[in-house]
Structure 1
Amino acid sequence: MPKGEQPTAEQVNEVKTRFLKNLEEQPPAVPFHPSDLARIKDSDVWITQLLEAYKLDVEKAIIRLRENCEWRQSFGTNDITATNINQEYLNDGEIYVHNQDKDGMPLLIVNFSKHSKSKNHDDLIRVIVYWVERVQHQYNYEKKITLFMDMTGAGLSNLDLDFIKRIVGLFETKYPNAPNYIVVHELPFLLNAAFKIVKGFMPAEALEILRVTTKKDINEYVDQENSLKSWGGNDDYTYKFAA
């Protein structure tokens, strides 16, 4: 996927300087995590990606950077590990990272055939955050992620609009710089009407990168070797969690 317009060094520096000044003048009630502050002070990657995501809007990037630091502190994002999230959800194969898209970006797969509305949304979101953070650390925050909503074999009982809203909202506000594409694969005909509702609450930026695929055209975004057999590809992988 082509990159958005790149910010200048001056724009990055303005966000960084003003954010740190604001932090000094109006410190948060609970200090931000040292890892997040180090990322802002010692690297330009996070700010550059935010500016790119917000189309070089310096004001919006400053506001969202502070909001993100507040959320990461309250959510405990930096302290999430494979041992302190819901073990059933980590191991059941609904949410995991495997293979990559044609741009070389890791696939964060949400297998909706394994979803149930009775599952706890907060716990599921923590599993998603675990995988996003793991991938970002692995690639030093320099790779995007393709969110792959796998609808193969899913039915009305698996469709959970509130959960999809939570996922979209997470990427829209907490990881706006992360998605390469949002792929919805093999959407059953029965779910078309519901999916129109989903598109209605997606922000314009998400709609720009949304792709609805079938076995016929999945190769435009994920090649044959990186596509699971259930998607029409060659990979016979079965998920098993590995730390």
Structure 2
Amino acid sequence: MANPNELKLSEMKEAIKLLGSSAEKYKDPTLERFLINRAMDPKKAAKMFVEWQKWRTSFVPLGFIPDSEVAEQLEHRKIFFQGFSKDGHPVLILNANKHYPAKDQDQFKKFIVQFLDKAIASGIKGKETGNEKIVVIVDMQKLAYKNVDANGFIAAFKILQVIKSP
């Protein structure tokens, strides 16, 4: 059975080329996520895909973020992988009382991307697509005012809007 979105995917790939980019490294399931996100509009999906590629290339030039670039954030030991939910989604535990507002916002953003990449990759397990949903349990026990980070929340949500694939 042919993919019901083949025409839309073809239009999207052509629109990506017209925007001066390429989707050669990506398979149809990845491109379909952009189509779905843009209500199956190939031109809007192509624009979003190209913007994501540019963001990803500039923010994660190695294709991953090494621990050395987020060492200060890792020192706090505030987030852990806890296995998988009954539905197979990666489960993360965030100890909110171990988070402190970042002195270096760029490092904090890289830390978020690194953890999301690792969580998504653990759900995909070597395939291009798969279980891209994650579960985050926030432990707020012993949370204090010193742990509240409005800029960190804003940065995290902005990243969640642009990150689409490891």
Provide the TM-score with structure 1 as the length reference. 0.55
CA displacement at 1:55 relative to structure 2: 4.4
Say if 1:71 and 1:127 are closer, same or farther in 2 by CA, change over 3 A: same
Q: What per-residue deviation string (whole Å, max 9, x for no partner) do you get for residues 196-239 of structure 1?
A: xxxxxxxxxxxxxxxxxxxxxxxxxxxxxxxxxxxxxxxxxxxx
Say if 1:13 and 1:74 are closer, same or farther in 2 by CA, change over 3 A: farther
Q: 1:100 touches 1:107 (CA, 8 Å); kept in 2? A: yes
CA displacement at 1:105 relative to structure 2: 0.5
Once residues 44 and 50 of structure 1 are traced to their aligned partners in structure 2, the CA distance between those partners, rounded to angstroms, is 10
Q: How does 1:1-243 map to 2 (within 5 A)?
A: 9-11=3-5, 13-15=7-9, 17-27=10-20, 37-39=24-26, 43-76=27-60, 78-138=62-122, 139=124, 140=127, 141-143=129-131, 144-175=133-164
Say if 1:171 and 1:13 are closer, same or farther in 2 by CA, change over 3 A: farther
Provide the TM-score with structure 2 as the length reference. 0.75
Q: 1:98 touches 1:109 (CA, 8 Å); kept in 2? A: yes
CA displacement at 1:89 relative to structure 2: 1.5
Say if 1:20 and 1:59 are closer, same or farther in 2 by CA, change over 3 A: closer
Say if 1:52 and 1:111 are closer, same or farther in 2 by CA, change over 3 A: farther
CA displacement at 1:74 relative to structure 2: 1.0
Say if 1:52 and 1:152 are closer, same or farther in 2 by CA, change over 3 A: farther
**Please, which runs of 5 or more residues in structure 2 have no aligned partner?**
none
Q: 2:92 touches 2:137 (CA, 8 Å); kept in 1? A: yes
Residue identity (%) = 20
CA displacement at 1:56 relative to structure 2: 3.7
Q: 1:108 touches 1:131 (CA, 8 Å); kept in 2? A: no
Q: 1:72 touches 1:78 (CA, 8 Å); kept in 2? A: no
Q: 1:95 touches 1:128 (CA, 8 Å); kept in 2? A: no
Residue identity matched to 2:152: F
SS at match of 1:61: helix
Q: 1:97 touches 1:131 (CA, 8 Å); kept in 2? A: no
Say if 1:27 and 1:60 are closer, same or farther in 2 by CA, change over 3 A: closer
CA-atom RMSD, angstroms?
2.9
Say if 1:63 and 1:11 are closer, same or farther in 2 by CA, change over 3 A: farther
Higher RCO (CA 8 Å, separation ≥ 6 residues): 2
SS at match of 2:33: helix
Once residues 41 and 104 of structure 2 are traced to their aligned partners in structure 1, the CA distance between those partners, rounded to angstroms, is 36
**Please, which runs of 5 or more residues in structure 1 have no aligned partner?**
1-7, 179-243
